[in-house]
Structure 1
Amino acid sequence: MPLPVRVVLVHGSQLSGAQWARYAGLLGPDVDLVVPDLPAHGSRRGEPFTWEAALDVIGHAVSGDGDGRPVVLAGHSLGGYLAMAWAAEHPRALAGLALLGATAVPKGPGAALYRGLARVEHRLGVDRMSRALDREFDALLPEDLAAVIKEAGYGFDGIPAAWDGVMTRCRPEMLAEVTCPVLLVAGQLDQLRVEARRFARAARSAPWVRRVTVPRGLHVFPLTHPHETAAALWELVIAARTRTDR
């Protein structure tokens, strides 16, 4: 019987754990899948977003019930930067780490762009932003998945604090002491993939680092290309089992 592995998937900003609705079936029954909602998102929309609270949510998801299972931690966009930050604080705790659409250094012009987007979203208001996202997901996703995401709702209140944390705290060098395999996945057309090589070089203590590009994938590739994303994550599951069996 395959060794159970806990896989923690952390969603991107505005979304929730619902974005991973298809992954239980794709990763299989021998994976203990955990999809927490970050503060100010999903079931935690009433909670203010703070960096410390978000890392605490991830920590609880990783530890689970304390059964000692090897853990693969993966995050998309905001979730990827938070996963990296958690791994930097616990560099020996994980059996695998995956950053999905989170390999751009958030400073300079890119940081200014995201701060500007956050201000625009705030001015537009919740209703107009929700309708815009509904239209986007209706166009990009299968009807059933779009319905699940829309039902879970969107989180806008935490965006300024969340991305301010990313921009002021997150750098590739945070990977330097992480001792597990590291996977860097990005869509071919993903704006947050531009410095993947720098992130790969920074993970100097990892036994291996692999970069994966999803053909024709946008920044939302974990939603639009779940099979390709799950296949990449499966490499970390296999690696986790191999390391534990030694």
Structure 2
Amino acid sequence: MIKSILFKNANISFSDEGKGRAVVFIHGFLENSTMWKNIIPALVANNRIITVDILGHGKSDCLGYVHSMELFAETIEAVLQHLKIRKYILVGHSLGGYISMALAKNNPLKIKGLCLLNSTSNADSEEVKIRRIRANKMAQNNFENLVKMSFSNLFSVESRTTFKDEIKLALQEALQTPIQGYIAANEGMRIRPNRNHILSENNFQKLIIVGEKDPVLDAETAKIEAKKTNSQLIILSGGHMSHIENKEELIKVLKVFLKGC
């Protein structure tokens, strides 16, 4: 059941189902909570699953023109306070992982485990920062083509054929993202800092999941990050969208991770 709260006069949409350990699923850029629809049924029997539509995505409103990771995190924390959840596990996909890192910075003692799914605690490279600036300029005039192009590039070459129908549905959801939501989130990602130390300095369970053929996040770089931050690393065979490309393997990995938190 979809619910909502007001945060600084912005509507924040979320869902809350199941009983047990609280697990917060945070979707990524150009996604919304529906991305978890094929993952949650396999986990909800033993867990309390909370999903949140982040600012400017899904059914949640925008809040200004820069959605920093800290601002995103504040909205997640507001939902958790509303639900009276004191300790929780975080699973963040891509941008959702960056938001999870901001939550971990502010609330390390509340977190039992943190999974960076196709995500990283590293900051953007200078090259990626430049690309984000260019994308935000393009979004103002050619948003649909920009989304179609960038979304397709998230999948491995093989997956673009194998999961053609699933990609089409996910793209339809992506195109519902308002331009302001796109620009505000992209700028927030551009300015986020490196947060390796948040992982290395805390004792909660840490898991990084990456795709071997991820066009966005390099698996070799993830190996270095995992070693530096004392995090477990799982490398799946697909690209950036493991919930589609490696669904069954992902569910198995998450079950083990959640049980260990």
Pairwise TM-score range, normalised by the shorter structure = 0.7 to 0.9
Q: Structure 1 residues 223, 120: CA separation in 2 closer, same or farther (over 3 Å shift)?
A: farther
- Does residue 41 (structure 1) correspond to residue 57 (structure 2)? The answer is yes
Contact preservation (8 Å) 1:88, 1:175: no
Match of 1:150 in 2: 172
State the shift of 1:73 in Å: 0.3
Instruction: State the identity as a percent.
Output: 21
Q: Structure 1: how far apart are the matches of 2:82 and 2:229?
A: 26
State the shift of 1:120 in Å: 2.9
Of residues 64, 70, 83, the one that matches 2:100 is 83
Q: Give the structure with the larger helix fraction.
A: 1
- Count of aligned pairs: 231
- Does residue 92 (structure 1) correspond to residue 113 (structure 2)? The answer is no
Contact preservation (8 Å) 1:78, 1:166: yes
Of residues 232, 236, 240, the one that matches 2:257 is 236
Q: What RMSD in Å do the two structures reach over aligned CA positions? A: 3.0
Q: Structure 1 residues 87, 193: CA separation in 2 closer, same or farther (over 3 Å shift)?
A: farther
- Does residue 197 (structure 1) correspond to residue 218 (structure 2)? The answer is no
Q: Structure 2: how far apart are the matches of 1:134 and 1:160?
A: 15
Aligned residue type for 1:219: H
Structure 1, unaligned runs of 5 or more: 241-246
Q: Give the structure with the larger strand fraction.
A: 2
**Higher relative contact order, chain-length normalized (CA < 8 Å, sep 6+):** 1
State the shift of 1:21 in Å: 1.1
Contact preservation (8 Å) 1:42, 1:155: no
Contact preservation (8 Å) 1:91, 1:177: no
TM-score relative to the length of structure 2: 0.74
Aligned residue type for 2:135: L
Match of 1:121 in 2: 139
Structure 2, unaligned runs of 5 or more: 1-18
Match of 1:244 in 2: none
Could you say what secondary structure the match of 1:58 adopts?
A: helix
Could you say what secondary structure the match of 1:219 adopts?
A: coil
Q: Structure 1: how far apart are the matches of 2:171 and 2:23?
A: 20
- Does residue 179 (structure 1) correspond to residue 200 (structure 2)? The answer is no
Deviations 1:166-193 (A, max 9, x none): 3322312332333201000111111213
Q: Structure 2: how far apart are the matches of 1:97 and 1:21?
A: 20
- Does residue 163 (structure 1) correspond to residue 186 (structure 2)? The answer is yes
